[in-house]
Structure 1
Amino acid sequence: MAWIAVAGAQERANPLIVGVEELNYLPAYGRDENGEYAGFGRAILDAFAEDHGYDLVYRPLPITRLYSGLLSGSIDLKYPDNPRWAEDRKAGRTIAYSAPAMTYIDGNLVTEARDGHDVELIGTVLGFTPWAWLDRIEDDSLQLIESTDLVPVLRQLFAGRIDAAYANVAVAKHVAAENGLPADQLVFRDDLPYDRGTYHLSTTKHPELIAQFDHWLEDNAERVEAMREDYGVGVEELLEPNGE
């Protein structure tokens, strides 16, 4: 399945294929109720493409296959990406990364009933790396359960089968609400290790396009920030209780 966005009048000879994650991770990015790629990720890329006259084809792929597509060149661009992700697979390859398009917080969400309890079993999406917990996972003091999508992770959490869900905090609350789960009972455990990172656009084929995207981000800083606010993907409000 591919989602096509026609953008602008000065098209390239061929559309640009953007590899995206085949999962529901809204409002950051993912499938909407109609199965279309949506969220902040699409909004920002469509806006850039429209301003520069590019056609984009969004190609949803499992996370592991996305890296294969990036490295083989079967996709033109990957979103989101980060220099830290899949470092072993990317070793020795030249990859151009954009400036940050979005900042996120990946952390531990628990139910109100489990707030303050020890965390020994966490769930996350297959292909995601819980950076803040790597030491404990590697020494087997913390067990990790992976699912192909965030919805089953959250269902396991509310069923009491895992102690915490490790995910983008804003996304987890949105996905819970959209799937009939009690999002108001989710608590972000900011007293536990969490990771603050950034989403980037990447490519092995078009470094000149990455440079162009960087200039666009700089020139449209207020517009992009308004998009972040519209989609509810800002992070500062999550850190206010800590005064960070």
Structure 2
Amino acid sequence: MHTLSARGIGATLAMALVLSIAGSDRGHAQESARAYVVGVENLDYLPAYGIEDGAYVGYARQFLDAFAADQGLRFDYRPMPVRRLYASLAAGTIDFKFPDNPNWNTAFVADNAVVYSGPVADFLDASVVRADRIDIAPDAVKTLGTVTGFGPWPWTDRIEAGTVTLSENADFAALVRQVLAGRVDAAYASIAVVNRVLDQDLNQPGALVFAPGLPHDYGSYLMSTIAHPDVITQLDAWVETNANRITALKDEHGVEHGVDPPE
């Protein structure tokens, strides 16, 4: 049977106190992590992002969570319709909007001091058509489908002139089916998302294609804020120092699959 000397007991108690304080400090640090609300789109837009069983998922979730963890922040994701996101950002009921891009709502940008991050992922928003119509000209497009709340800004002039009628659909897979069935001439959407729906949901790979002669937009998903430009600065610095990690995450999700740089 082993016994502890008074010195041993004292050392043991001292070590226990140190561990207790360290544990308390860790718990306090976790509790005091700055929490922010990120407004996100309540759409199935995988591989970029989506909502499954009420949870935000996809490349964007893993990217933002990794940044937050490294910086001692906490992001709470609040899904909502696209149009409501801008109003919520202006009202301050959300701290950040993701994704965003200054081209998507120029009127909002003009009226608000919005700060944007650098690129989080690149995208190609394309006018997609049935494969047998790949050479279609813009004048032949009379009806254009898009997801509710999305502004197909490269088509704005034709829509405002009344030569193209815009048809919105709240469900992405249903939008793809509209083009396949010929109920709209083309749809304006992310090529990566279209390909995922065709490949995984409808089992019709290649049935819709990017029509290069129609309006399209190469760009990047950004994060925006009005109230917290300091966090945007942190994000940009983190992206610069984690390039390889981010590339691996992009490849894992295929978020930039089919997105080629403009010629």
- Given the two structures, how large is their TM-score scaled by the length of structure 1? 0.87
Aligned-partner residue type, residue 79 of structure 1: F
* Structure 2 unaligned regions, length at least 5: 1-28
The structure with more helix, counted as a fraction of residues: 2
Q: After the TM superposition, which of the residue ranges 56-65 and 173-182 deviates more from structure 2?
A: 173-182
Aligned-partner residue type, residue 91 of structure 1: A
Within the candidate set 67, 71, 77, 2:90 is matched to 71
Larger radius of gyration: 2
Aligned-partner residue type, residue 50 of structure 1: A
Q: What corresponds to 1:3 in structure 2?
A: none
Q: Name the CA distance, whole Å, in 2 between partners of 1:160 and 1:57.
A: 40
CA contact (8 A) 2:39 2:94 kept: yes
Q: Name the CA distance, whole Å, in 1 between partners of 2:198 and 2:54.
A: 18
Within the candidate set 117, 142, 154, 2:164 is matched to 142
Q: What corresponds to 1:48 in structure 2?
A: 67
Residues 182-193 of structure 1: matches in 2 within 5 Å? 182-193=204-215
CA contact (8 A) 1:112 1:185 kept: yes
1:238 and 1:98, CA in 2 relative to 1: closer, same or farther beyond 3 A? closer
Q: Name the CA distance, whole Å, in 2 between partners of 1:135 and 1:215.
A: 38
Percent identity of equivalent pairs: 44
Say what the alpha-carbon RMSD is for the aligned residues: 2.0
CA contact (8 A) 1:71 1:90 kept: no
Within the candidate set 74, 77, 88, 1:58 is matched to 77
Q: After the TM superposition, which of the residue ranges 77-86 and 40-49 deviates more from structure 2?
A: 77-86
Q: What corresponds to 1:16 in structure 2?
A: 36
Matched, 1:125 2:147: yes
Residues 191-206 of structure 1: matches in 2 within 5 Å? 191-206=213-228
Q: What corresponds to 1:28 in structure 2?
A: 48
Q: After the TM superposition, which of the residue ranges 80-89 and 68-77 deviates more from structure 2?
A: 80-89
- Given the two structures, how large is their TM-score scaled by the length of structure 2? 0.81
Aligned-partner residue type, residue 101 of structure 2: N
Alpha-carbon shift at residue 10 of structure 1 (Å)? 4.1
Number of matched residues? 232
Q: Name the CA distance, whole Å, in 1 between partners of 2:109 and 2:209.
A: 35
Q: Following TM superposition, where does structure 1 have runs of at least 4 consecutive aligned residues deviating by more than 3 angstroms?
A: 9-14, 237-240
